[in-house]
Structure 1
Amino acid sequence: MSKINSVLERYIMPFAGRVAEQRHLQALRDGMVLTMPLIIIGSLFLILANLPFQAYTDFLADHPHLRTSILYPYRGTFEIMALVATFGIAYRLAESYKVDPLASGAVSLAAFFVGTPFVSYTIGQNPDGTNIIETAYQTGMFTSKGLFVGMVIAILATEIYRIIIQKDIVIKLPETVPPAVARSFSALIPGFAAIMAVWILRLLVENIGDFGNLHNVVTLLLQQPLTQIGTSLVGTLITFLIITLMWSTGLHGATIVGSVMTPVWLTLSNENAASLAAGEPVKHIVTNEFNDIILIGGSGTTLALVLTMVLLARSQQLKQLGRLSIGPGVFNINEPIIFGMPIVLNPIMIIPFILTPAISVIITYLSMDMGLVAKPIGIVTPFTMPPIIGGYLITGSISGSILQLVIIAVSFFIYFPFFKIWDNQKLKEENTTNITSKMEDQQSVI
């Protein structure tokens, strides 16, 4: 066990720590968090428009305008995801550099619009018979379709902005000018440079090669490879392995990995939600909600472990820890277990902690791929949604709840033998402590 701990401490922890502290990944993670409340709000209305009751469904089918009205908040949240993320990522990155985050967010958002292509359409005819052409932004790019472009532009624009600010290439006004006005003028040169850079990139892409626009470039070079790798069965297994391995060293694996994968998962969630809103079958298995189906009790799928501690622990330490952890565990919060048992740097418990999510991924992926369980329908629930209820909401089917019950049962059988080893070890320590304490009491009496 000491050798395993040594390997974890010497090789895994330093690397994982550097990844966790990387400012751009932190900005991506924190910026994406800004979109989550809006997505959850939109999901509530998506649920409302698709309640699984036949009479209700028939009623909405007879009144399509009512269903369209119910979906207004869904469209007002899901369909601006790229805009919110662009602002949020730029804001957080600028904040880490200690430059004006609000100005950087605004500049990055403007740069996103500069890089977004237009679409032309006919709105009528002139008296001479020629068509009247109107141009407008491709608003579809404001949704998750433009998320990766927003990420790239937010980082690029903010880096340009902060470099110029830090080199003090700014317009300086007298001290008598109000600070808000002075900050606005300070942002002129760096903001102009950032927007010019994106404008030049757009012109180059549109006039050189066959990409067409910036969104196509990012999709081909970044989004598609990440989606194909990260949402296959093997790629998903590797993703969950990295998450649990980082947690095993005390780092928040879900947020670190999520800074890279959340944009991919949310894009696919949004596509499933759009299919549901349009009355079409959903396509994707691995989405943002796929994690919530599997990670029952938190990373490592530890709810079954907590229940085992409460019901079967012989050592007082683990039984008491289980009682304290059952409440948070039901709401998928398991830091008390990870750090209190502990699982961190514990070679005995690390094995099932890594193995359980991996087995759960295989069960979930294959059962959905074979049609035994409904796929996620694009409804993003809070991560604290209790299991069984969460499985039903995420899939829109009782099969999602049954799947989570199966995962809990499988988790129990994986964790139990390792739990018994750790429990017996703790019981032995407690007995040794009690014997020592009694001997000391007897000696004091003598």
Structure 2
Amino acid sequence: MGYFRQWISRMNKKKISIEKVSDYIINVVASPMIRLGEYPAVCSVRDGLVATVPFVILGSLLLLLAMLGQDNTFSTHALLPIITPYSAKMILFFQLTMGFVALYAAVAIGIIYAGFLSVDRISAALLSLASFILFNIDNIEHGMNVSGFSAGGLFTAITSSLLSIRCYHFFVQRNIVIKMPEGVPPNVINAFVALIPYTVILTAFWLIRSCFNFDFNQFLNAFLIPFVNASDNIVVYTVIKFITLMLWGVGMHGDNMLSPVVSPMLLQWVGENAKAVAEGVALTELPHIWTTVVDRLSMWPAAVWSVLFLMWRSPLKHARQLAMMATPASVFTIVEPIVFGLPLVLNPYLFVPFILSGTVGSLVTYAFFDLHLINRVFVELPWATPPFISGYIATGGDWMGVVVVIINFCLGTLIYYPFWKAWEKSQLNTN
């Protein structure tokens, strides 16, 4: 504590400005992310994947219910025997929702990208869907490889959608289309406008897959999956959470800024975990750790709930009033009232513990999963689900999912405490 007071004193004497830190973060970290997030293709992928989240959540919940009705899943006997007769039907429902998520993503990405390029959205959606399906032709069985429609085919869906719509825009922009006379209804015009682009683009994709036997799914998986899977480790996870918190700390929505980079991976990983559960893999041995639910168990209980607890006990009236107003939202991981209202953003006293507590919480949480102390997550839940609820449900009823939230909260409180007391003192002296 003595060393901490000396550090605060030196900071005040040297007038070290938090604005210098924020300028560095904005210029070095945030600016490239902002530029990346402004590209139409990146925005289309991000928003298209977000559009598929209801399918993922619905499929996850049906899978969870199906597991509750089966023996030798969460226990030797079914926890809800009344569901047992319907378990197989629920598994089928799961396969038609989360198991087809790449197919739905292809349509959504095509529609959104068409909006950016100002081409007909209906034509673009159909072209994007057809392109993705063509890339999933199974030349060995002369049929359709529907396994590519699951989360494992997301990279193919992204690539085929962006490529096909970009080519469609090329034809339309250069008027390489069939022109109709005036007075023809717009829907008929759009249908004939699409004819030449459809013919050329889909024929080209068919030749690539069927005649040249180029398996786009296999190529992308062989090329990208090793790098993607290698990202699911404690070092990368902790660094990403550190960067996310730094962006939040300078007033930017860190999660939204990084979502174009991480969302495709997280969606694929939770899908692969769900598939593994459906195949009977033990919950502690699922292939992936990093999911959006894990993010909610780690960052906000440590970085926000802990400071909220200190606010309730503070002698500062405005801190207690803000705590009273912000608590209901914070329980549901709506953290903006505290981050921007206290504020934690650009606060010379609380900026450091905000980043440090969330980073430590992320490190601890990943370590618990990596050491097989918690069932791994195979369910996607709405983002506003309270962490202590999602930690229990998403891990298949493992109470350690709740315990890790409590541990992160306690660690965050310990990290914040000396900084918080220094900030309280500065506020009391000012008043």
TM-score over 0.5 for the pair: yes
Cα 1:291–1:6 change in 2 (3 A) is closer
Cα 1:14–1:262 change in 2 (3 A) is closer
Cα 1:146–1:315 change in 2 (3 A) is same
Alpha-carbon distance, 1:199 to partner: 3.2
Percent identity over the alignment is 28
- C-alpha distance in structure 1 between counterparts of 2:425 and 2:37, whole Å: 35
- C-alpha distance in structure 1 between counterparts of 2:298 and 2:212, whole Å: 41
Gaps of at least 5 residues in structure 1 are: 122-134, 207-211, 432-446
Q: Match for residue 145 of structure 2? A: 138
Alpha-carbon distance, 1:347 to partner: 4.2
- C-alpha distance in structure 2 between counterparts of 1:28 and 1:340, whole Å: 32
Cα 1:5–1:267 change in 2 (3 A) is closer
Output one character per residue of 1:337-381: Cα deviation in whole Å (capped at 9) or x when no partner: 2222233333433322222232122212222222222221x1111
Q: What secondary structure is seen at the aligned counterpart in 2 of 1:302?
A: helix
- C-alpha distance in structure 2 between counterparts of 1:392 and 1:241, whole Å: 25
**Could you tell me whether the CA contact under 8 Å between 2:241 and 2:358 is conserved in 1?**
yes
1:15-54 to 2 correspondence within 5 Å? Answer: 15-51=32-68, 52=74
Q: Match for residue 394 of structure 1? A: 394
**Could you tell me whether the CA contact under 8 Å between 2:25 and 2:246 is conserved in 1?**
no
**Could you tell me whether the CA contact under 8 Å between 1:223 and 1:264 is conserved in 2?**
no
Please tell me whether Structure 1 or Structure 2 has the larger radius of gyration of its CA atoms: 1
Q: Match for residue 265 of structure 1? A: 266
Query: Aligned match of 1:303 in 298, 302, 305?
Result: 305
Query: Aligned match of 1:117 in 131, 137, 152?
Result: 137
TM-score in terms of structure 1 length: 0.84
- C-alpha distance in structure 1 between counterparts of 2:317 and 2:42, whole Å: 41
Q: Match for residue 85 of structure 1? A: 105
Q: Match for residue 157 of structure 2? A: 150
- C-alpha distance in structure 1 between counterparts of 2:116 and 2:348, whole Å: 36
Output one character per residue of 1:243-298: Cα deviation in whole Å (capped at 9) or x when no partner: 2222233332212322222221221211211222222222322234322322335x
**Could you tell me whether the CA contact under 8 Å between 2:238 and 2:362 is conserved in 1?**
yes
Q: What secondary structure is seen at the aligned counterpart in 2 of 1:406?
A: helix
Cα 1:355–1:102 change in 2 (3 A) is farther
- C-alpha distance in structure 2 between counterparts of 1:39 and 1:405, whole Å: 27
Gaps of at least 5 residues in structure 2 are: 1-16, 69-73
User: What amino acid is the match of 1:293?
Assistant: L
- C-alpha distance in structure 2 between counterparts of 1:97 and 1:348, whole Å: 46
**Could you tell me whether the CA contact under 8 Å between 1:148 and 1:223 is conserved in 2?**
no
Alpha-carbon distance, 1:111 to partner: 0.5
User: What amino acid is the match of 1:141?
Assistant: G
- C-alpha distance in structure 2 between counterparts of 1:90 and 1:427, whole Å: 56
Alpha-carbon distance, 1:13 to partner: 4.1
Q: Match for residue 380 of structure 1? A: 380
Cα 1:57–1:323 change in 2 (3 A) is closer
**Could you tell me whether the CA contact under 8 Å between 2:25 and 2:247 is conserved in 1?**
no
**Could you tell me whether the CA contact under 8 Å between 1:170 and 1:188 is conserved in 2?**
yes
Alpha-carbon distance, 1:391 to partner: 0.6
User: What amino acid is the match of 2:225?
Assistant: Q
User: What amino acid is the match of 2:383?
Assistant: F
TM-score in terms of structure 2 length: 0.87
1:7-406 to 2 correspondence within 5 Å? Answer: 7-51=24-68, 52=74, 55-57=77-79, 59=81, 66-118=86-138, 120=140, 135-202=142-209, 206=213, 213-228=215-230, 230-281=231-282, 282-296=286-300, 301-309=303-311, 311-376=312-377, 378-396=378-396, 397-406=398-407
- C-alpha distance in structure 2 between counterparts of 1:338 and 1:187, whole Å: 49
**Could you tell me whether the CA contact under 8 Å between 1:205 and 1:214 is conserved in 2?**
no
